């Protein structure tokens, strides 16, 4: 099975390496950025190009590019045949309709950062395809790189992507705020790690709703007002504090 990987960002890089390490042939890397294309191609023993016209023929084309670039690059790929697969959480399978004959999705539910390796085996992969045969091909590819392969419709995947923004992107931003607050008191972020780890560990035995702790769920307005006072110099964080506390109170 010959795979062409289109894109050279975080997702493309981690995915191309996982496919290569699973023993599949990554034949070509396609990227607008020559330097990135070369670098990734070297690490997976592939050819590379920056020109869509030079995309080679393959069994599978995997597009891991920004949502805004996705439709255009699919259109620019001269090959009609083969299985065309995107990796975007929020994009529908239907965007392949009328452009390619066979479309699919392989969505890795994970956050990828440059310079931080991840083990693909543990990453949930959500697959979808326009026909049963292609779903089998995707299942074979996905199962070779991860132990957690699920089928999901486009609608389900969009809910997943939305939930992931809350659970990962917004959570990480709360960590960034906490880090800034600690920094003002000369305390390293490090000391929060056991607390954060326990917050997650708890969700294995208690649902997040059941496991809620803190001043808001206790309706301890005395503590909440003290905290809001301490945030006077940070009106944005104060607004976040107020809104999330109200949401917790509403929810309990």
Residues in 41-70 at the binding interface with its own copies, rule: CB under 8 A: 66-68
| Interactions with its own copies, residue window 127-166 (CB under 8 A) | 148, 150, 152, 155-156, 158-166
- Long-range CB contact pairs, 134-143, < 8 A, 24+: 134/83, 134/102, 134/103, 134/104, 135/104, 137/1, 137/59, 137/60, 137/83, 137/104, 138/83, 138/85, 138/104, 138/106, 141/1, 141/3, 141/19, 141/24, 141/60, 141/106, 142/106
Binding mask 212-231 for its own copies (x = CB under 8 A): xxxxxxx-x-xx--xx--xx
Cα angle vertex 54, ends 65, 62, to 5°? Answer: 30
| Interactions with its own copies, residue window 68-87 (CB under 8 A) | 68
The residue within the footprint of its own copies, chosen from 21, 35, 72, 122 (CB under 8 A), is 122
To its own copies, the closest distance from the beta carbon of 68 in angstroms equals 6
The residue within the footprint of its own copies, chosen from 23, 51, 98, 115 (CB under 8 A), is 115
Gap between the Cα atoms of 31 and 26, Å rounded: 14
Lookup result for tokens 């607008």? 32
The residue within the footprint of its own copies, chosen from 23, 195, 232, 233 (CB under 8 A), is 195
To its own copies, the closest distance from the beta carbon of 192 in angstroms equals 5
Q: Which stretch binds its own copies (CB under 8 A): 22-30, 42-50, 137-145, 184-192?
A: 184-192
97 lies in the binding site for its own copies (CB under 8 A): no
The residue within the footprint of its own copies, chosen from 59, 124, 135, 144 (CB under 8 A), is 124
To its own copies, the closest distance from the beta carbon of 72 in angstroms equals 13
To its own copies, the closest distance from the beta carbon of 6 in angstroms equals 18
The residue within the footprint of its own copies, chosen from 63, 129, 174, 233 (CB under 8 A), is 174
36 lies in the binding site for its own copies (CB under 8 A): no
């Amino acid at each position: 099975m010959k795979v062409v990987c289109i894109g050279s960002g975080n997702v493309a890089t981690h995915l191309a390496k996982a496919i290569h390490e699973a023993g599949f042939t990554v034949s070509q890397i396609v990227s607008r950025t020559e330097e990135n294309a070369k670098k990734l191609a070297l690490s997976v023993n592939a050819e590379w190009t920056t020109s869509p016209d030079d995309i080679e023929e393959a069994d599978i084309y995997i597009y891991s590019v920004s949502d805004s670039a996705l439709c255009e690059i699919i259109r620019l790929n001269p090959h009609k045949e083969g299985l065309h697969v995107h990796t975007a959480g929020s994009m529908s399978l239907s965007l392949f309709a009328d452009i390619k004959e066979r479309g699919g999705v392989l969505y890795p539910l994970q956050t990828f950062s440059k310079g931080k390796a991840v083990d693909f085996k543990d990453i949930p992969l959500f697959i979808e395809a326009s026909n049963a045969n292609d779903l089998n091909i995707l299942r074979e590819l996905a199962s070779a790189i991860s132990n957690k392969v699920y089928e999901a419709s486009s609608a389900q995947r969009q809910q997943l992507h939305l939930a992931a923004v809350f659970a990962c992107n917004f959570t990480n931003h709360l960590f960034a705020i906490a880090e800034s607050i600690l920094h003002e008191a000369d305390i390293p972020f490090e000391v929060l790690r056991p607390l954060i780890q326990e917050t997650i560990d708890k969700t294995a035995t208690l649902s997040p709703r059941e496991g809620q702790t803190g001043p808001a769920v206790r309706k301890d307005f005395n503590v909440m007002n003290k905290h809001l006072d301490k945030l006077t110099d940070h009106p944005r964080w104060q607004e976040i504090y107020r809104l999330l506390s109200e949401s917790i109170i509403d929810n309990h």
